[in-house]
Amino acid sequence: MRRQLVAGNWKMNASSEMTGSLLTGVLENLPADRDIAVFPPFPYITQAVAETAGTPVMVGAQNVAAEESGAFTGEVSAAMLADIGCSMALVGHSERRALYGERDYDVLVKVRQLMANGITAVVCVGETIEQRKAVREESVVSEQLSLLIAELSNADWEKIIIAYEPVWAIGTGETATPEQAQAMHAFIRSELKKVSDTVAEKTRILYGGSVKAASAAELFSQPDIDGGLVGGASLDAAEFTAICRA
Ligand code: PGA
């Protein structure tokens, strides 16, 4: 049985005060039956780790360097993330792919850095509206997963979570229908069978894209949806808590 995970991607939104108040809200309303994670911007990770110490809430980063260490001004390595108590990191978010030119190869290299440091990678995949209109959503997502499927070992997959985030649903208020999302999650799971049946069965696949409290329960009750990656709604403690408990 896969345990569901609800993760909040704060993107480039936060302050010390906001980090404190969001976490207080989350910690006061923890669900017993789901994992919860938050992904604050880098400067607030240490604070979030301290404030969630001794609780089940996990703290992740939104990005990680492809390199191990050295002269890479502005980058943050996987070893640094592990050192400050970060247990997860997003890789290949559609904003990173679209705005910072991250390619599938970069995603693989970053995943390898995370694996080497014991950090779980939440790898984001998803098609644009043009690709969906051209009925290419499956081929696009298959391509985004193909290097990982070819290169990573069964053991590596124990530290990987997939987030299916259709680009047209991110921050637009337009959520994929539960049927659209379930169909893509089932497709992704069938792709993971190329690694092994066990990996296909065990890997958690989150849905992301305008998840709100009102839409979460139906999405999360689909057989291949193992929780959500929540952007905008994770910045409102009451709304995020309602999603966590949906
Ligand atoms: P959204 O963002 O919930 O605001 O659509 C999701 C994400 O980008 O992870």
Instruction: Give the pLDDT band of residue 92 (cuts 50, 70, 90).
Output: very high
Could you list the active site residues?
93, 165
pLDDT at 106: 98
Give the residue whose CA is nearest to atom 9 of ligand 1. 231
Look up residue 122 and give its two tokens: 């939440």
The answer to pTM > 0.85 is yes
Instruction: Give the pLDDT band of residue 31 (cuts 50, 70, 90).
Output: very high
Instruction: Give the pLDDT band of residue 242 (cuts 50, 70, 90).
Output: very high
Q: Give the mean pLDDT of 40-59.
A: 98
Query: How does pLDDT run across 110-139, given as a tens digit for each residue?
Result: 999 999 999 999 999 999 999 999 999 999
Instruction: Give the pLDDT band of residue 1 (cuts 50, 70, 90).
Output: confident
Distance CA 71, CA 94 (A): 26
The answer, yes or no, to whether any atom of ligand 1 lies below 6 A from the CB of 243, is no
pLDDT at 79: 98
The answer, yes or no, to whether any atom of ligand 1 lies below 6 A from the CB of 81, is no
Secondary structure of 24-69 in HEC code, one letter for each residue: HHHHHCCCCCCEEEEECCHHHHHHHHHHCCCCCCEEEECCCCCCCC
Please answer whether residues 228 and 10 qualify as being in contact, where contact means their C-beta atoms are separated by less than 8 angstroms: no
CATH of domain 5-245: 3.20.20.70
- Quote the ligand 1 centre to 71 CA distance (angstroms): 32
Query: How does pLDDT run across 93-110, given as a tens digit for each residue?
Result: 999 999 999 999 999 999
pLDDT surpasses 90 at 199: yes
Percentage of the chain lying above the pLDDT 90 cut? 99
Distance CA 176, CA 162 (A): 17
Give the residue whose CA is nearest to atom 2 of ligand 1. 231
pLDDT at 223: 98
Look up residue 76 and give its two tokens: 């943050």
Strand-pair category, 227-230 with 205-208: parallel
Query: Domain segments of the chain: what residues?
Result: 5-245
The answer, yes or no, to whether any atom of ligand 1 lies below 6 A from the CB of 232, is yes
- Quote the ligand 1 centre to 232 CA distance (angstroms): 6
The answer, yes or no, to whether any atom of ligand 1 lies below 6 A from the CB of 211, is yes
